[in-house]
Amino acid sequence: MAAPLSTMKFWKPGAEAPGITEERELNTETTGSPIIFNPHTALSIEKQRQKLPVFKHRNNILYLVESFQTVIIVGETGCGKTTQLPQYLLEAGWATEGKVIGVTQPRRVAAISVANRVAEERGALVGHEVGYTIRFDDCSDPQATRIKFLTDGMLVREMMADPLLKKYSVLMLDEAHERTLYTDIAIGLLKKIQKKRRDLRVIVASATLDAKKFHDFFNLNESGDPNKDTCGILTVEGRTFPVDVFYTVSPVPDYVKATVETVLKIHETEEDGDVLAFLTGQEEVEKVVSLLQDQARSLSRIGMKKHLRILPMYSGLPYADQMKVFERTPPTVRKVVVATNIAETSITINGVVFVIDCAFVKLRAYNPSTAIESLVVTPISKASASQRAGRAGRNRPGKCFRLYTEEDFEKLPASTVPEMQRTNLAPVILQLKALGIDNVLRFSFLSPPPAQTMVQALELLLRSRSKHLQAKVSLHMMQNFNQLCVLAGLDHYGRLTDPMGVRMAEFPLSPMFAKMLLESGTFGCSKEIVTIAAMMQIQNTFVLPANQKKAAAREHRKFAVAEGDHLTMLNVTRRAPSGVQEHFLNYKGLLRAVTVREQLRRLMNKFKVPRTSSEGDPDVILKCIVLGFFSNAARIHHSGSYRTLRDDRELHIHPSSVLYGEKPPKWSGGFSMKCCRRQKYYMRDVTAVESSWFGRVGPHFYKQAKHGSLASKRSRVL
Ligand code: CDP
Ligand code: MG
């Protein structure tokens, strides 16, 4: 069957106004003259470096870094900020006497890929002069590494051991426009450090940034004399290659379908060049990948010379598979990378010439009045749209096809709401407290979070036995479950408790996980809990190949237990690594869980958490999970769905849970994630619990349910 001819119609904004412009086909002329890429005549790395727009500004940049404590650098995507600036600083001597140049990235994959690129440009292997550090993976050498790429979360973590970040001479906050939670925290903390360390240089780099806002924030000059400013701004003009932007002629009803059609149209009508398509989540990515794979097979059957290689890219994908998108393809193959937002910033996928942008992104949202955190599909910002388009012009002129009209583009917000203003702040507060910021309400935030979110997070962390709090609790007990949600990380003065709060803050996981892990030794199940916590860090324990769904589901049922997903995960680890294929388990995910478990074990040893085992008793493990995750408890409603205890919010069991479609337990808890799809809230990683267990972690405020123990219905696979 031949591929259907696409019905997608695009136009390129130009001299003529929309509406009177003729619809143009995809291979409209580009503004720049077409350059045919020939790898044999490609420039040497050194020559490539010199051709980048930032190269002309090299001396200027170095002068600014010498003269100002903070420098804000705004330059089009692809101009060389991420890969070149750290090298200029290194060459200019900013990393002598054991000092390190640190560059933060909002995403792990970006940190790895840019570290690899910079190491390659310096003719070395990553992990020596150039290295990276991300959570659960350190590829740097404390003695040898001079340029270190790290996630912004890791930088905040490093401040715990080294509050003044003494080993760094320069810190570059890259892609600052993304305003991730940890970028914003790092920004606030660095400003504080700069007041004590006049020698520390901060560079804020981005393609699309409100430079003035950053300037006013970082400028420590209070004299009013602009000559004494401590912050400078530099704009780098020019980009490496032009990118032509096309819009659809009319709004697109289904962007998933439109993405598939646009890829096919590009393949039919455009010259060489790989394609990068942006969608919102794993499900959409997999759907497009599978539709395109079907089409690719039909195309090769009808004898099309150029083949399509379709590759997914999303954060839940094992690293090795994520890295596949960077592999070069032979000239007879056109690579199509179908990605979520993960590919939006920092990374260069070689060969990408065409970008398809669906206009949407899945973002974390937090509703402080209900305390529910969810992932919501939202229109992107203009800043994101320009980042996405920028992925096309990295190695040669590119084209970006926006699956929306130019009119709709104009309606997009200029920038994304900072994550700080749409997230649960409990982990942030704990870390700030651990860093000695006592009054978190007065912390210098670039964009302060809503007061209600802040107060709620403080409540979650307060110590239950405080008389002061108990008085407060009895007052509101019947109305507000939140106040009972106490992890005992803070005392009634709001100070970090020692040792619990201090240790919780040191864990590279949320306070709920930390609490569960730290208490597991005395509970008598630390061996099992550390495995469960590690398994919860991988997104999918099971794989469901499209053509073997039934067989896979049958295999997966063998691990399932009535208690729910956590004990099912534990069962899986008992079987692995043998039988991974036979049981359709996520092999790479399991390997990652093993590494994570090792790191968690090390921390638990450091805090002298006893190594204990439940010896086959599931209740001990489940109670320990409740100890950390009690604030997520829900009870069954007569409608068949669940209601949260704290605010009576309707929840459903996620289809990926082993409890989905089974006789539902009366109480559920422990779930670590709620995601919102089509206005519904789902529980993932669900465990059946008993209401009486909640008494262990806070005062009873509801009657104990009269149902008997679930134990009689349990399958004891353990
Ligand atoms: O950070 P910015 O967007 O300004 O650019 P960059 O990441 O430093 O990349 C500068 C240039 O290096 C890109 O335009 C690419 O031409 C090249 N590059 C590459 O070819 N392969 C990579 N993995 C990274 C960069
Ligand atoms: Mg960059």
179-183, 210-214, 678-682: range with lowest mean pLDDT: 678-682
Model confidence over 145-157: pLDDT tens digits? 999 999 999 999 8
Query: What pLDDT does 93 receive?
Result: 94
Identify which of 495, 502, 535 has the alpha carbon closest to the alpha carbon of residue 518: 502
Does ligand 1 have an atom closer than 6 angstroms to the CB of 52?
yes
CA of 122 to the centre of ligand 1 (A): 14
The Cα 245–Cα 266 span in angstroms is 14
- At residue 377 the predicted structure's pLDDT band, cuts being 50, 70 and 90, is confident
* Ligand closest to the CA atom of residue 243: 1
Work out the end-to-end distance of the chain between its first and last CA atoms, rounded to an integer number of angstroms.
51
- At residue 700 the predicted structure's pLDDT band, cuts being 50, 70 and 90, is very low
Which atom of ligand 1 has the smallest separation from the CA of 393? 14
Higher per-residue confidence, 535 vs 656 = 535
Ramachandran bin of 616, using left for φ above 0, alpha for ψ from -120 to 50, beta for the remaining angles: left
Average pLDDT over residues 46-74: 92
- At residue 321 the predicted structure's pLDDT band, cuts being 50, 70 and 90, is confident
The domain limits of the chain are 5-34+241-419, 53-236, 424-506, 511-718
Residue nearest to atom 12 of ligand 1 (CA): 80
Does the pLDDT of residue 2 top 80, yes or no? Answer: no
- Percent of the chain having pLDDT more than 90? 36
Query: What pLDDT does 38 receive?
Result: 43
Q: Give alpha helix (H) positions in 197-276.
A: 211-218, 255-269
Does the pLDDT of residue 479 top 50, yes or no? Answer: no
Does the pLDDT of residue 489 top 80, yes or no? Answer: no
Which atom of ligand 1 has the smallest separation from the CA of 85? 8
Does ligand 1 have an atom closer than 6 angstroms to the CB of 77?
yes
Beta strands in 62-181 (DSSP E): 70-75, 100-105, 130-134, 137-139, 147-151, 168-173
The Cα 659–Cα 561 span in angstroms is 8
Mutate to test the pocket of ligand 1, among 117, 172, 175, 391 (most ligand atoms within 8 A of CB): 117
The Cα 229–Cα 232 span in angstroms is 7
Residues in the chain: 718
Please answer whether residues 623 and 353 qualify as being in contact, where contact means their C-beta atoms are separated by less than 8 angstroms.
Answer: no
103-117, 317-331, 494-508, 695-709: range with lowest mean pLDDT: 695-709
Q: Which of 20-24, 31-35, 311-315 has the highest mean pLDDT?
A: 311-315
Does ligand 1 have an atom closer than 6 angstroms to the CB of 79?
yes
Residue nearest to atom 25 of ligand 1 (CA): 348
Identify which of 214, 148, 202 has the alpha carbon closest to the alpha carbon of residue 177: 214
Does the pLDDT of residue 31 top 50, yes or no? Answer: no
Residue 488: Cβ within 10 Å count: 20
Average pLDDT over residues 15-20: 39
Model confidence over 262-300: pLDDT tens digits? 999 999 899 889 999 999 988 899 999 999 999 888 887
Residue nearest to atom 10 of ligand 1 (CA): 80
Query: What pLDDT does 642 receive?
Result: 87
Query: What pLDDT does 699 receive?
Result: 31
For residue 642, the one-letter residue type is Y
The Cα 411–Cα 379 span in angstroms is 10
CA of 98 to the centre of ligand 2 (A): 26
Residue nearest to atom 19 of ligand 1 (CA): 348
Identify which of 109, 159, 116 has the alpha carbon closest to the alpha carbon of residue 134: 109
Identify which of 481, 28, 75 has the alpha carbon closest to the alpha carbon of residue 238: 75
Identify which of 559, 560, 561, 563 has the alpha carbon closest to the alpha carbon of residue 576: 559
Does ligand 1 have an atom closer than 6 angstroms to the CB of 395?
yes
Does the pLDDT of residue 473 top 80, yes or no? Answer: no
For residue 275, the one-letter residue type is V
Does the pLDDT of residue 675 top 70, yes or no? Answer: no
Does ligand 1 have an atom closer than 6 angstroms to the CB of 427?
no
| The two domains 5-34+241-419 and 53-236 share their CATH topology (first three levels equal) | yes
Identify which of 456, 448, 398 has the alpha carbon closest to the alpha carbon of residue 425: 456
Beta strands in 8-55 (DSSP E): 10-11
Average pLDDT over residues 473-501: 54
Residue nearest to atom 17 of ligand 1 (CA): 394
Domain over 53-236 is classified CATH 3.30.450.40: no
- Superfamily (CATH) of domain 5-34+241-419: P-loop containing nucleotide triphosphate hydrolases (3.40.50.300)
